[in-house]
Amino acid sequence: MADHVALSFTATLQVAEAPINVLGNMTRGPVALASPKQAPGHFVEGATTLGMLNGTDANWHHGREIGLITFEQAAQPAALLLYFRHGETGYRLYLRSGPHAGQGVFITGDGLVNVQPIKAEDPSLWALIDAQTGEAFDLTQLEEGRREIQLASADGHPLEVHNLYPVGGFLACYAAAHQGTLSLIIQARGVDWLKPA
């Protein structure tokens, strides 16, 4: 079996060619998101939630006009570089770029996939699935640098791209989530977590 460093890597994620980033890094104003787990009308703070924006100017205008979005689009940052640290039971994700560099990726009680400082507990544990084969993602079998993947939490809940109508989506993970597919774009392989690439 390959060692953990050999199976660890840095990568960016995309949905429909739109890069995943921290919503607060891509917007101005408060980011209020409809909780994917609670009844309609329950809103949660989403500035540290991972998501993507792909709406047109008309979509943004429409979304603000009818009150579906509470924020404005800002200058788009570079794609968020994530570190996928391999362990015995899956991957933990850490940020390697942007204002939240060094923080981890956690699942909140509301089912949001957020970034936050690492304190007493490690970031959430993820299983990576090759969307093409349905099997566990195996970096050693990947010749090119891009693959469609799906993620599931340690308790088996699927990761979905929850609709942020009409301007994009955000990542959520909870029992009733609908499995989403993300594009994984490998940047560097065999990355040691103590030595950022």
| Nearest of 74, 76, 19 to residue 51 by alpha carbon | 19
Within-domain flag for 196: no
- The CA-based angle 159-164-166, given to 5 degrees, is 140
Q: How many domains does the chain have?
A: 1
Residue numbers of the domain that contains 43: 4-189
In a 10 Å sphere around its CB, with 0-12 CB exposed, 13-18 middle and 19+ buried, how is residue 47 labelled?
Answer: middle
- Strand (E) or helix (H) holding 64: helix 57-65
Within-domain flag for 197: no
Write the DSSP assignment of 142-185 as a string of letters: --SSEEEEEEEETTSPBEEEEEETTTEEEEEE-TTPPP--EEEE
Within-domain flag for 194: no
Here the tokens at position 95 are 């940020």
Give the global pTM: 0.94
pLDDT digit of tens for each residue in the chain (197 aa)?
Answer: 468 999 999 999 999 999 999 999 999 999 999 889 876 768 899 999 999 999 899 999 999 898 889 899 999 999 999 999 999 999 999 999 999 999 999 999 999 999 999 998 999 999 999 999 999 999 988 888 999 999 999 999 999 999 998 999 999 999 999 999 999 999 999 998 766 54
CATH no. for residue 16?
2.80.10
